[in-house]
Amino acid sequence: METKIGVLALQGGVAEHLNHLNQIENVRAVAVKKPEELNSCLGLIIPGGESTTMRKLIKDYDFKKAIKDFNQQQKVIWGSCAGLILLAAEIEGENEEQLALLDIKVKRNAFGSQLDSFIEKDIIPKVSTDPQELVFIRAPLITEVAENVEILYQKEDQIAAVESEYIIATSFHPELTDSTIFHQYFIEKVKSLSN
C-alpha cells in the first residue's frame, strides 16, 4: 500500500524532501499548500528555511490548527532545522507563538551563521549503523528536552536530533545528502503508527 507524505510547501527546502521521499518504494510525496491537503497524508515534513517567514505563512494560510489537529490524530511530523524551531515549545530569548508540539527548548543559529555551515559524518544508532552525512546550516541547537523526548543524536553535549512519540526533529538537513536513510526511518515510524 502507498504511503502518502506531505511536505509543507510554504517556504524552504521543499523540493529536496520531495525528491528524497519519491526515491523510497511505495511512498507518494506531495507538496502541501492548503490545510485541507493534510487530510489525506499519513505524515508531514516541515522543511528547513526561514523560520520567521514560515511562522508568518503558517498563520496567514491557517495552517496552525490543521497541523495541531494532524498531531492530535497521532500522525507523525518531522521538522528539520527551521521546522524544528517551529515545533519547539520554547525558543531562547523569544516569546513568539509557536506550534509548540514538542517539549524542547531551542537556541537559534547556535552552530553559527551561514558562513559557519559545516558537514560531518557520524552514526545515529537508532537510524542506521552506517555513518551518515550531517549537514548543518545556521542550525538551531536543542538546549533542553522533557522526559518524554528521546535524544537521537548529540555531538558532545550539543543535542541535534530528538524524537517523541509522534514527532522527529533534526537540527541538520538529511535532505541535502545523497542518502535517504533518515527519510526511510521517518517512513517506518509513520507506517508503524498508521497500522
- Catalytic site includes residue 81: yes
What is the distance between the alpha carbons of residues 81 and 189, in angstroms, rounded to a whole number?
19
DSSP string for 161-182: EEE-SSEEEESS-GGGSS--HH
108 belongs to an annotated ligand binding site? yes
Candidate list 16, 81, 163, 183, residue with the active-site label = 81
For helices 181-194 and 14-21, the axis angle rounded to 10 degrees is 70
- Catalytic site includes residue 41: no
Amino acid symbol at 111: F
138 belongs to an annotated ligand binding site? yes
What is the distance between the alpha carbons of residues 64 and 110, in angstroms, rounded to a whole number?
26
Which of 177, 181, 189 minimizes the C-alpha distance to 13?
177
119: left (phi over 0), alpha (psi -120 to 50) or beta: beta
Amino acid symbol at 41: C
194 belongs to an annotated ligand binding site? no
- Catalytic site includes residue 173: yes
49 belongs to an annotated ligand binding site? yes
51 belongs to an annotated ligand binding site? yes
55 belongs to an annotated ligand binding site? no
Candidate list 17, 20, 163, 173, residue with the active-site label = 173
Contact 175, 133 (CB under 8 A): no
Which of 172, 171, 175, 169 minimizes the C-alpha distance to 189?
169
Which residues belong to the annotated binding site for L-glutamine?
49-51, 108, 137-138
Catalytic positions are: 81, 173, 175
Which residues belong to the annotated binding site?
49-51, 108, 137-138
